[in-house]
A and B are shown apart, each in its own frame.
Chain A
């Protein structure tokens, strides 16, 4: 008898980084309990199930009940971490709204399989709406780390934070971007590459692509600043405004619908503080499809060349704006 090779436990994915971090930190957080809806193998919490079986609670394929039950666990003093795929979190968003956020519970939702990064499972499984939906709930903090190092730091940060959090992990192998000196703070973005011609603000899987886009732009003599905006809510408004003041043009990049996610958060901030031209890189209000993540990124135009192209568009718009002002 031979068993199939499971694709789930891919070493360098954000979900695995999350699962390992959670398991490693569990002893420091005695109130931590992990809730699963029959996909622990996919979300990374199979590590926790193995290391802390007594604090792992199985809810079966019943996300609504799991989400609201997390509210009950938090009500009696535990710190529940609800885990499932991002797309199935959408199914329980009303439970997250009422029983977690409205009741202001210290509960965390950690969602794997966000965006086109899901890949071959196809359009039905690729949540491109989750950042927008969860961002709209009062009191919800929304986070999307960019690499495995940051994921481990963010995992600690959300466990130390008192309040409801929605955090994206990721399915596919992801490149290491940050070293051991990396710092993660909820609500703080970081300039991870200097440049003064424009700023690319990205989160999650798009951060690596934004860095690649900055390389492409440099060939044309354009110095792009890159910001890793791992917290979508509360957005680092100060940094967004500063980048607008210093570079005068912004591109946002996210593995998400162009509506309501990181781009929306950045645009809201800019409109209220420092208006400047913005280009949005994201999935253009359509559903995804099967394919490998890189193929999909090219097909749906969220890959590095598309970010670079958006940068050139936004620079053109800024120059046009400047001409108008001079006249």
Chain B
């Protein structure tokens, strides 16, 4: 458990689950705002993964802003790199980057590129954006840490459409073969990809069976149920095999006009009215609206 991450200003929230729900709410609002300012980006998969991000950075992982060079920190690799706005948002919430600077998304000279780049932002751990590679990098990290007797854990998050990449299954096979119990993969199973649903583009089911057949410990959860996410992450840390958490989610979760609509995958441009409406739906206060949208 990460005892270090303390958000700057969530005074009201008390218990862990409430605090993480508040973090997830911030992630959604911040990601909408940064994509609004950028004039392009991928909101759908940022919304679906927000609760997972909050639990990983707010509770599960041993990583904190001042320990970002600590060799024993846990590593996180965003294999679905197009969800960068959500990663930047959770980073902003927990102090890995500045809340205001990270709204400057996808702009020349900004370190907050459209996809995470480790040379711009060391805390993102590696550069991603080409689907299928992040899980392999995470596997290399897990093998490399073990070879150096370093107990740090490695986490990676994948999209469901991403699972169509052959490299993911090369990676799945190798993680089981090398018995990487320190590896946890989280799948943001929002059922949609770029163009349409997984079922229309390329069927994934039976998905849990596939991972089981590849030798992984498999859990299926509601990816918006914070208590369930925490339990699953904790269990994943105790297995001898690599663990996959298939998190059933809703693409666009939290913004009614976006939920389950494939066209909100990206790359999209928000009008001011859409951004206002999204933040309102997420319960933004007048101050939050101003802080996030009027910069």
Contacts and interface: CB of A to CB of B under 8 A. Distances in A.
B119 A103 contact: yes
Interface in A40-78: 54-55, 57, 59-60, 62, 64-78
A72 B132 contact: no
Contacts of B130: 94, 98
Contact of B139 (A33, A54, A65, A78): A65
Contact of A69 (B75, B119, B145, B174): B174
Interface residues of B, number: 36
Nearest to B137: A72
Contacts of A95: 133, 136, 167
Contact of A102 (B117, B143, B170): B117
Contact of B144 (A65, A78, A99): A78
A76 B144 contact: yes
A63 B129 CA distance: 19
Interface string B268-286: 0000000000000000000
Contacts of B133: 64, 68, 71, 94-95, 98-99
B127 A73 contact: no
Contact of A99 (B136, B166, B170): B136
Nearest to B177: A60
Nearest to B136: A68
B93 to A, nearest CB: 24
Contacts of B62: none
Interface of B is mostly: helix
Contacts of B129: 98
Contacts, number: 114
A317 interface: no
A33 B147 contact: yes
Interface in A94-115: 94-95, 98-99, 102-104
B174 A102 contact: no
Contacts of A65: 136, 139, 167, 170-171, 174
Interface in B160-177: 166-167, 170-171, 173-174, 177
A33 B148 CA distance: 11
A78 B127 contact: no
B174 A59 contact: yes
A80 interface: yes
A72 B118 contact: no
B126 interface: yes
Contacts of A64: 132-133, 136, 166-167, 170
Contacts of A73: 140-141, 143-144
A72 B167 contact: no
Given A60-B173, A98-B128, A76 B139 contact: no
A57 B179 CA distance: 13
Interface of B: 71, 75, 77, 117-119, 125-130, 132-134, 136-145, 147-148, 150, 166-167, 170-171, 173-174, 177-178
Interface of A: 33, 54-55, 57, 59-60, 62, 64-78, 80, 94-95, 98-99, 102-104
